[in-house]
Structure 1
Amino acid sequence: MRLPNPLYRAAVFACLAAVVAAIGGCASAGPKADALQRSQYAWSGAIRWGDFEGAWGMLEPEYREEHPMTALEMERYNQVQVSYYRDNGGLSDLEAGTAARDVEIGVVNRHTLAERTARYQETWRWDEEAKRWWLTSGMPDFWQGQ
């Protein structure tokens, strides 16, 4: 059996080193960043799959108290189906405990089957006591401009 030439071994070693470096780069930026990612994922999933009551529970408690959702408003959310939820990027300042991201949401009226696009800016606040992120921007307005 013939051993691979030194150039081949060097190339394999370089590839392995690059893979190890890439995996190391995937390491978490910390518990706050992980919690933000999980919160945003849960929020977008709730909106995308029509769990508006679950999404309501992710809003900051002070916001919910100041802007209570009526049964009629909740029924309006139940009359639409979200066809997509696209993250268009955002900014976060983990030190300050704030984050924001712009999203585009495809909305289909269940009665007319008309689809439209809604834009929404999420704003998030880190609650140090609860060790969690709260959404402070309220529910998306699917009826803007109507």
Structure 2
Amino acid sequence: MHRHAKVLLIAVASAMLAACATDKMRSKETVLTDTLRTYAATLRWGTVENAQAFIDPKVLAERPPTPLELARFRQVQITGYNEQPAIPVGENEVQQVVEIGLVNVNTQAARSVIDRQTWRYDEAGKRWWLMTGLPDITQSQ
């Protein structure tokens, strides 16, 4: 009977460890899903200044948007945000391709741009950071 108790104890402990690992991954995935959804909403309905809060602080310090880039964002209305599923490219990194629909508020000309995003998970902060900066809305299709 003692031997069966040890086997049962090991099995229960293994199951608990697996559940903890699953909860940790689920939590990280949930944070990613929430971050991507909130970034999309912020880019579409918020301001470019608010969208900058998703960019990794080091990236933002090294490559801050220029005043011209920020002015260009104020000249367009984002009309669509069609994302592909995020694809893991490492333990703490995903990539996502997004087609962003734009309308120039002055000319009413519509177009779209492709934004290739890289997101990195910060273990210490328990959050995802955008590593590729704001989308390049000057590209032509």
For the pair 1:104 / 2:99, whether they are aligned, the reply is yes
Following TM superposition, the consecutive aligned residue runs of length 4 or more in structure 1 with deviations greater than 3 angstroms are none
Structure-1 separation of matches of 2:35 and 2:43: 12
Superposition pairs for residues 1-146 of structure 1, below 5 Å? 30-92=26-88, 96-145=91-140
Structure 2 SS opposite 1:32: helix
- Seq. identity, %: 36
TM-score, structure 1 as length reference: 0.75
Q: Gaps (5+ residues) in structure 1? A: 1-27
The structure that has the greater radius of gyration is 1
Q: Are the aligned partners of 1:50 and 1:82 in contact in 2 as well (CA < 8 Å)?
A: no
User: Structure 2: which amino acid aligns with 1:107?
Assistant: L
TM-score normalised over the length of structure 2: 0.77
In 2: Cα distance, 1:125 partner to 1:88 partner: 17
CA-based RMSD: 1.9
Equivalent position of 1:9 in the other structure? none
Q: Which amino acid aligns with 1:87?
A: E
Size of the aligned set, in residue pairs, is 119
